[in-house]
Amino acid sequence: MILNNQNYHSTEANQHYWSNSQYKEFLECEARGMAKLRGWAEPPSEALLVGSYVHAYFESKEVFEQFKSENPEIIASKGANKGNLKKEFQRADELIRTIENDPLCMFVLQGQKEVILTAEFAGAKWKVKMDNYAPDRNRFSDIKTVREIQKETWDPNNGYVTFVEASGYVTQMALYAEIERRVQGRDGWIEPIIVAVSKEDPPDKAVISINGYDIQRELDLIEMNMPRLIEVKSGRIEPDRCENCRYCRETKTLNKIVHYTELINQ
Ligand SMILES: [Zn+2]
């Protein structure tokens, strides 16, 4: 299957290839991952739409205009603000200005936009899409919109972690670096850079690096997890349910009584 910007996110493409988001999904809830391959979809979240709005702006003028016409819900339809951008998207405009006014952000965001690459890794076929790909500068970069850049998040396995780890961005960047390395036949990885901008008032910002140790650790984890996930996706193993996500809540049937201490240790 040949991928392009029209079919990249299609169900067919997701059946054929693994992607960072599918890998993350299967780790969170295999049952939900499988349901998505059958066409189940999560309702779009406003946070996701704000992220896409910022991305579209930095991709190109045409893409930004197209995004706005395809998502009329970003315009307020009632109240004092009627006819204007909703508050969240006025804030998104501030995030855009914050990035645009920072020379370092703009410098690392240079490169080819939305570059699709595919390669085999860990026994699976992967697809990745790089937002800003600059192989001549040994770098690729991605913008991440986040509620708070310095926020600590509790992770039961690793203690308090940064938003970069909590959101799976180290995994994503490591995977992208490895797929790029395989496509280009390089010995080492080009450098992944995250440009983070926060929804605080005024927005905070940071240009964030991920090093070779981080990449290797994440790739080892992916290689460890993939054998089971490949079996699940192929239908040879029954998917586990997390019993916690939207899909599991929608499809839950209780068959036992739980002790109250079990409520937080799943
Ligand atoms: Zn679930």
Q: Is 37 helix (H, G, I), strand (E, B) or coil?
A: helix
Q: Which residues of 71-92 are buried (b: 16+ CB within 10 A; e: fewer)?
A: eeebebeeeeeeeebbeebebb
Count Cα atoms within 13 angstroms, Cβ side, for 88: 17
For residue 105, give Cα distances in angstroms to 130, 163, 207, 214: 16, 18, 7, 22
- Cα-to-centroid distance, 90 and ligand 1 (Å): 33
- Cα-to-centroid distance, 181 and ligand 1 (Å): 33
Assigned domain for 221 exists: yes
Residue 248: which CATH number? 3.90.320.10
Task: Quick: pLDDT tens for 12-37.
Answer: 999 999 999 999 999 999 999 999 99
Assigned domain for 132 exists: yes
What DSSP string runs through 195-260? EEEE-SSSPPEEEEE--HHHHHHHHHHHHHHHHHHHHHHHTSSPPPP-SSSHHHHHT----S---G
Judge whether residue 266 has pLDDT over 80: no
Find out whether 54 and 92 touch, Cβ atoms under 8 Å.
yes
- Cα-to-centroid distance, 36 and ligand 1 (Å): 11
Find out whether 49 and 71 touch, Cβ atoms under 8 Å.
yes
- Sheet with 191-198, side-by-side order of all strands: 112-121, 124-134, 139-146, 191-198, 205-209
Assigned domain for 88 exists: no
How many CB atoms are located within 10 Å of the residue 249 CB? 10
Model pLDDT, residue 232: 98
Domain holding 26, by residue range, is 11-43+102-265
Assigned domain for 253 exists: yes
Residue 264: which pLDDT band, with cuts at 50, 70 and 90?
A: confident
- Cα-to-centroid distance, 37 and ligand 1 (Å): 14
Model pLDDT, residue 265: 63
- Cα-to-centroid distance, 25 and ligand 1 (Å): 9
- Cα-to-centroid distance, 40 and ligand 1 (Å): 12
Q: How many domains does the chain have?
A: 1
Rounded CA-CA distance 84/119 in Å is 44
Assigned domain for 142 exists: yes
Count of all residues that appear for the chain in the document: 266
Assigned domain for 63 exists: no
| Mean local confidence (pLDDT), 66-75 | 92
Which residue(s) pair with 197 in the sheet? 145, 205
- Cα-to-centroid distance, 264 and ligand 1 (Å): 15
Residue 58: which pLDDT band, with cuts at 50, 70 and 90?
A: very high
Model pLDDT, residue 262: 86
Task: Quick: pLDDT tens for 97-116.
Answer: 999 999 999 999 999 999 99
Assigned domain for 147 exists: yes
The mean pLDDT of the chain is 94
Assigned domain for 52 exists: no
